[in-house]
Structure 1
Amino acid sequence: MSSGTGAKLLQPLGDIDPMQRVRSWLGFSMTNFLARFLTIALIMCAMVHFGPTADAAERQFGLFSVDSEHPEAIHMDGALDAGSALNFRRALNAAPDARILVLNSPGGLVQMGLLIADDVHLRKMATLIPAGSTCASACAFIFLAGAERRADGQLGVHQVSNDVGDLESAQLSIADIIEVLNRFQTPIDVLTIMFKTPANDMHFFSPSEVALYGINRSAGATPAAGPPTPVNETPSVSSLPTYKPATAEAAAPATPSVASLPTPDLSTLEAYTRRPTRMALYSGLDFNGQDIESVRVGEASQCARRCFEIGSECKAFTYNADTRITRGPNCFLKTGSGAMDGNVMAISGLLLNRAEKDPAPFSMGIIDPREGMIEDIDLPGRDLSPRAHPTAKTGPQCRLACITNDQCQAFTFIKRKKECWLKSSVGEARYKPGMVSGGKKLATFSPMSVIALE
């Protein structure tokens, strides 16, 4: 019995058919399983319009691209070269109603950055550095020109390098930059940091610095133009102009739905970054924590609908598909994906806005709460600590303690003593009543589908 159970414990996750696991736990055939998911898909179709599965046609102008399906935004991706300013004008001609410039660039030619920044400023466009993207060096001039601006990714600045090598040319370049950045009402601390950072180095603003220096700017928060503050003066933080983003209560509609987002209450940049455009659906992945609300619903699609109804605060949900649970909440609405966990009963959705890329596959160690916890099995030795875990007093808590510990590869929970022992490896399993054990398996997760919501 010991060897047989141990073999089950060590069986790789990839050797187990996920559909077979679900059928065995839910107790219905493959036909019924597919019918259940077909029902979910049909309800989703009634709730939202599915967008095209293929990527929308894009027009490329050097670094700049315009999506014909969504001409409100122009994307810039790459280093600024001698043709960048002209290519930006071409992109503007292709998308004359564009209100947002999405940035991902290491920089490049300063003159091109200043010319594009001037166009952005004159057109009162918003600028955005999405999470995972970088806007550095000459790209920073373009970002700072935004009537609205938001740095979710990395914003980097440094001194201007001068290829000519003469002092007069360098002074003229610096004078041009100071004049332009003051016209954009750039916070003085940003200028100070820029000119103090050597040309061969880069200062990337931390999230706390972005907030402290008022780098992000919302609609209507632009300060009145005034005389430029000399660069060699360092005002106190309290005297700096601040750019406070609109509160969620003021910006979000009272009862939003998929059809009503965005509303006139949202600024151009807020609508672009807050409105969900896609939903990534996962099977067997549980989002833990960051709960807003928990309710009971009949289907996974109703759980998704409830997330839309809450508005921009809801970014994700997890639905418990175990039909044997007939009481209590089975739909958990969340502000984000939180701590992720494997669970064959879970159907989870992650809402994505236009600035966010489709999620890439990822791998993690999991201990499934149903299939991965083996009753009456002990894993002796190989403890991570000479003492039991201080807070895990139940089997499920012990499993979660192991999941959240990168060094933990297995656990044993002693029911009578309420002791949780985390292990560095699985070891040899043996039969012992009154214990429950589990070992991590490596699992890879990717969305089973990404649904367009518009």
Structure 2
Amino acid sequence: MSTCILVISRVLTAVCFVLMAVGPGLAEIKNFGPFKIDTARPDVIALEGPIDDRAALAFRRALLTLPDVKLMTLNSPGGEVDNGLLIADDVFQRKLATYIAPDAECYSACSYIFLAGDERRVEGKLGVHQISSQRPDLASAQFSISDIIDMLNRFGTPTDVLTIMFRTPPDDMYVFNEADITKYGINRSRGSADTPRAPAAPLADVQLPATATNNAPAVVLDTPTPSVSMADSASLAELSVIEDYAKRPNRLALYTGLDFSEQDIASEAVDDAKACALRCLETGGACRAFTFNITTPKSPGPNCFLKSARGQLDGNASAISGQLLSRADSYPSSFTIGVIDPKASVFENVDLVGGDLSRKPFTKAKTARDCRLACVDNDSCRAFTYLKRKKECWLKSGASQPRAAADMISGLKKIETFEPATVIDLE
């Protein structure tokens, strides 16, 4: 194993240990029944698991611990209806936002909590069905159903959603697809819960079967669905709690031998790669990627480059780069690019004769580095030669026989694939 690879391997191990230790060190995870809170993020409560007969009390305890909570994330198969309604009422009264992440599901009683959100968005799975009752008498069924109708109407639940809910048998589940979510207006911008709503449908308007059954009856409602104007939506989007949450970084993908070029917002001299990674995390979201050069010492530096985005990809055996990923991002990609490594594939005082892509030099490249990157960006380019005295960049379709030549720099391209060396869960 080369010295450079060995150093990078050791640095990556150190980065992983430090960053995995930093999360728990800064936060305390507390569980209240099916609810989880992270004291480092006091604006979020997560529902993870079934809603049991003590869930409403557990939720109140979580609220006391995080009085400034703004958002509930939901991942639950459902559970006890009355507790689901009590939790939903608390969510509604406190004007919390509700969010179903892409890898989450919210079924049955969990859907009441979701629909109570002042701002709500489903990106995972939302499912509804009728309630199932252990008490088969018609009066009890009527009271249970009227409670659900009353509360869901208060939440501004679209009429079509209510209809689907009460027409789906309790042993089945209607899961809304993307078209349904748009069609029925299930997602909602923040603040639209304040729009006037019609009162709950009276029981006389609810069509019940003539005999008692364990299945909730079909419901016919004529409640208007609240709406928000386009202008209101634009202004409310600026206040989106869910957008803020979805954009927070929750993973860090690390790459070795890959330089994220350009998009710099700051450059610093730091001790090592783990210090560079921590500096990126400490910027409050301004930094979304970084590159650390392991061969550049702290003095004179800089060796840590913080970036607003990943930027241009460039192969460099001395580089360790990291990209912050949010919940909205897919699994970190692999990159297959043409690479001219500035350490291993660029040669001083060497000329590559012939194979020029053009009869004229590439005029936009003013330095040898510019010439190298121009070749990297050009799919037809396989090599380059830069004339230092004339400041001329010659891009080439292939590498001919090299020859010694003073004041010339040449480089050879090869195709490489870069996989994430590791992905660190920041939560």
- In structure 2, the partner of 1:347 is 321
Aligned to 2:192, which of 207, 212, 221? 221
| Residue type at the aligned position of 2:190 | A
C-alpha deviation, 1:182, in angstroms: 0.3
| Higher RCO, 1 vs 2 (CA within 8 Å, ≥6 residues apart) | 1
C-alpha deviation, 1:199, in angstroms: 1.7
| Residue type at the aligned position of 1:226 | A
C-alpha deviation, 1:124, in angstroms: 2.2
> Does residue 172 of the first structure (1) align with residue 143 of the second (2)?
yes
Q: Secondary structure at the match of 1:190?
A: helix
- Scaled by the length of structure 1, the TM-score of the pair is 0.55
How many angstroms apart in 2 are the aligned matches of 1:303 and 1:87? 37
- In structure 2, the partner of 1:283 is 255
C-alpha deviation, 1:53, in angstroms: 4.9
Larger Rg: 2
How many angstroms apart in 1 are the aligned matches of 2:94 and 2:339? 57
How many angstroms apart in 2 are the aligned matches of 1:225 and 1:285? 58
Aligned to 1:70, which of 41, 46, 49? 41
1:351/1:176 CA distance change after superposition, 3 Å: same
- Scaled by the length of structure 2, the TM-score of the pair is 0.58
C-alpha deviation, 1:396, in angstroms: 8.2
- In structure 2, the partner of 1:430 is none
The within-5 A match list for 1:50-449 is 52-54=23-25, 56-222=27-193, 223-228=195-200, 231-232=219-220, 241-242=227-228, 246-247=233-234, 251=238, 266-274=239-247, 276=248, 280-284=252-256, 316-317=288-289, 334=309, 347-352=321-326, 356=327, 369-370=338-339, 445-447=421-423
Aligned partners of 1:106 and 1:135 also within 8 Å: yes
| Residue type at the aligned position of 1:82 | D
Q: Secondary structure at the match of 1:194?
A: helix
How many angstroms apart in 2 are the aligned matches of 1:243 and 1:315? 34
- In structure 1, the partner of 2:301 is none
Residues 159-210 of structure 1: CA distance to partner in whole angstroms, max 9, x if unpaired? 2222333444333322221111001111112112212222222222223432
C-alpha deviation, 1:88, in angstroms: 1.5
- In structure 1, the partner of 2:356 is none
| Residue type at the aligned position of 1:137 | S
Aligned partners of 1:187 and 1:241 also within 8 Å: no
- In structure 2, the partner of 1:411 is none
Aligned partners of 1:216 and 1:243 also within 8 Å: no
Q: Secondary structure at the match of 1:86?
A: helix
Residues 276-328 of structure 1: CA distance to partner in whole angstroms, max 9, x if unpaired? 3666241239799xx9x95697679999999999x98x8954759799xxxxx
Aligned partners of 2:190 and 2:236 also within 8 Å: no
1:267/1:357 CA distance change after superposition, 3 Å: closer
How many angstroms apart in 2 are the aligned matches of 1:61 and 1:396? 56
1:332/1:119 CA distance change after superposition, 3 Å: closer
Unaligned runs of 5+ in 2: 16-20, 206-218, 296-304, 342-375, 381-396, 399-412
Residues 66-115 of structure 1: CA distance to partner in whole angstroms, max 9, x if unpaired? 33333332222110111111212222222333232222110001111111
C-alpha deviation, 1:157, in angstroms: 1.1
1:194/1:36 CA distance change after superposition, 3 Å: closer
Q: Secondary structure at the match of 2:192?
A: coil
How many angstroms apart in 2 are the aligned matches of 1:217 and 1:97? 21
C-alpha deviation, 1:127, in angstroms: 1.9
| Residue type at the aligned position of 1:446 | T
How many angstroms apart in 2 are the aligned matches of 1:286 and 1:194? 51
Aligned partners of 1:286 and 1:343 also within 8 Å: yes
1:182/1:250 CA distance change after superposition, 3 Å: closer
1:445/1:195 CA distance change after superposition, 3 Å: farther
Aligned partners of 2:190 and 2:237 also within 8 Å: no
How many angstroms apart in 1 are the aligned matches of 2:281 and 2:113? 35
C-alpha deviation, 1:122, in angstroms: 2.0
Aligned-residue sequence identity (percent) comes to 35
| Residue type at the aligned position of 2:254 | Y
| Residue type at the aligned position of 2:324 | L
Unaligned runs of 5+ in 1: 1-16, 24-29, 42-49, 252-265, 324-329, 373-393, 399-414, 417-435
Aligned partners of 1:307 and 1:333 also within 8 Å: no
Q: Secondary structure at the match of 1:54?
A: helix
Aligned partners of 1:150 and 1:216 also within 8 Å: yes
RMSD: 5.4
How many angstroms apart in 2 are the aligned matches of 1:201 and 1:343? 55
1:169/1:233 CA distance change after superposition, 3 Å: closer
C-alpha deviation, 1:367, in angstroms: 5.4
**Count of paired positions:** 331
How many angstroms apart in 1 are the aligned matches of 2:25 and 2:9? 24
Residues 200-245 of structure 1: CA distance to partner in whole angstroms, max 9, x if unpaired? 2222222343233222222222221224466525799xx7635868
C-alpha deviation, 1:140, in angstroms: 0.5
- In structure 2, the partner of 1:27 is none
